[in-house]
Amino acid sequence: MNFQLGAIFIALGLLVSAAVVSLAVPPDSADAPAGVHKDEPAFRDIDAWINSGPLELDKLRGKVVLVDFWTYSCVNCLNHLPYVKSWHEKYKDQGLVVVGVHTPEYAYEKSPANVRAAVAKLKIPYAVAQDNDYGTWNAFDNHFWPAIYLIDAQGRVVYSHFGEGRYAQTEEKIRQLLAASRVQGS
């Protein structure tokens, strides 16, 4: 009887723990629905730009911008990187600008040499902003690696996704935004 009671308490404890963890995720951490518009954040306090000169979001108006928060030793970031690189390659000539924002999780990830080496090793062709002091991370009110934000041609954040997955939905949103920007630009 004692063994069964103990097993029941363990099972209840696991259920309560799962409930607490699910409640700990803030409501704004869910993907932003396509109709939700936030004000445009900015690239702030960037330590270095790799693969490009400094970029400013307000000067990218008229283009669709994909901002990808990542760090080179995050397994989830590395798993989603092929999709981001693919979108850059497929849509760069249609008006998509991809900007990787490398925000370190650990001290060694702050080294400019380490970040440059990682960008080269991973063959990242698009602009990468090194955000050691979390200026851009905070401007976007970001909390996760990886995190994708899509900014429409008017400069509004209209979509976000945190973590791996939803690749088909994200690519569909990219296509929709590019189509809308072509219509508005004609």
Residues 28-69 pLDDT 10s: 434 554 444 455 589 999 999 999 999 999 999 999 999 999
Question: Do the beta carbons of residue 41 and residue 57 sit within 8 Å?
Answer: yes
How many CB atoms within 10 Å of residue 154? 13
Q: Which of 7-21, 125-139, 171-185 has the lowest mean pLDDT?
A: 7-21
Residue type for position 143: H
Residue 168 resides in a domain? yes
Residue 7 resides in a domain? no
Cross-strand partners of 157: 38, 151
Residue 49 resides in a domain? yes
Residue 76 resides in a domain? yes
Whether 27 has a pLDDT exceeding 50, the answer reads no
- In this prediction the pTM is 0.80
Residue 75 resides in a domain? yes
Q: Which residues contact 36 (CB under 8 A, 6 or more apart)?
A: 158
Q: What is the pLDDT of residue 183?
A: 74
Q: Where are the beta strands (DSSP E) in the chain?
A: 48-50, 64-70, 96-102, 127-130, 147-151, 157-162
Average pLDDT over residues 148-170: 96
- What's the rounded Cα separation, in Å, for the pair 43 and 105? 18
Residue 48 resides in a domain? yes
Domain of 52, in residue numbers: 36-185
Q: What is the pLDDT of residue 38?
A: 52
How many structural domains does the chain have?
1
Question: The domain that contains 152 carries what CATH number?
Answer: 3.40.30.10
